[in-house]
Each structure stands twice: as structure tokens, then as C-alpha cells.
Amino acid sequence: MWKSTRRLALGLFAALVLAAPALAADYQIPVVTGEHWTKSSPEERKAFLVGAATVIELDQEVQGATPAVNSTIDAWARGLAPYTFDQMVAALDKWYAEHPDKLRRPVIEVMWYELAQPNIGATNIGQADPKEALKEKRAEAKAQAKAKAKAKAKAQEEAKP
């Protein structure tokens, strides 16, 4: 009897633990809209974009070379690749300035439909870029970052007395 009760209790506990992620999916996260964007400082705007880029990069690392079929991460990465953070800030500022009646539109929605999606061409959502092209883009971006850091370090070294 004791073993049966114990097994039942453990089974119920396991069911609750496994159900927790499904319950968590019902929570809503705050949405940053144009109202928030236009009231933010340039530093806060850039920080928002850095955070978004970090989430994209984190998801790329977690998914590795074979992203999930329904993932939009690679589409986001390719769509936003042509922009620097400053260019994205300027583009979002311009969009909201040209559409003052749409300040309730979420920033992430404007980023997707106005910045990222026009750059992804015929790629359908959920279909990742060809693996080699993505690897090349990532390698090129890392090489550029290294070269920039090296040039900055050299300039700092030369500036020392």
C-alpha cells in the first residue's frame, strides 16, 4: 500500500513538473511599442536593439548548424544583417516619425516587416538559409569584428607615449 501511494505521489509530482512549461507559455511579456520607442533616449533605443541581437545570436548558438524547421532566427539574422545598430535606430526613428498614427505598433513588428523581411527575399518563414551561406556570413562578421578590434588596439598602442 505504501509503495502504491508513493508511486502515485511521485507520478503526480512528475506530471506537475512536466506541465509547468505548458503553463508558462500562457504568460504575456511586455511589448515595446512606438510610444515607448519615441520616448526613449538614443542609448536606450540602441540597447533595445543590442538585446534583440543578443537573443538572435543566443538562439543561433543553441540551435547550432541545424535550426528547427519552424525557427525564424536565421531569417531575422539575414534580414537585419545589412544594418548597423545606428542604422536600425535611424530607420525605426524615421518609420515612427512618418507614421505618428501608428505609435501603438510594436517595435519588433516594425523591425520585422519594415527592416528584416524586405531583405530575406523568397525565403519562407521557417526555412533556414543554406548552411554554407550562413557559415560564410557568420565567419565574415567575426573576421570583421576581429579586424576592427585589432585596429583599435593598434591605434591605442600607438597613442601611448
Domain ranges of the chain: 30-131
> Which pTM was predicted?
0.59
Residue range 60-88: mean pLDDT, rounded: 84
Select the more confidently predicted residue: 112 or 8.
112
Helix, strand, coil % over all residues of the chain, rounded to 5? 75, 0, 25
Residue 54 has pLDDT above 70, yes or no: yes
Host H or E run for residue 84: none
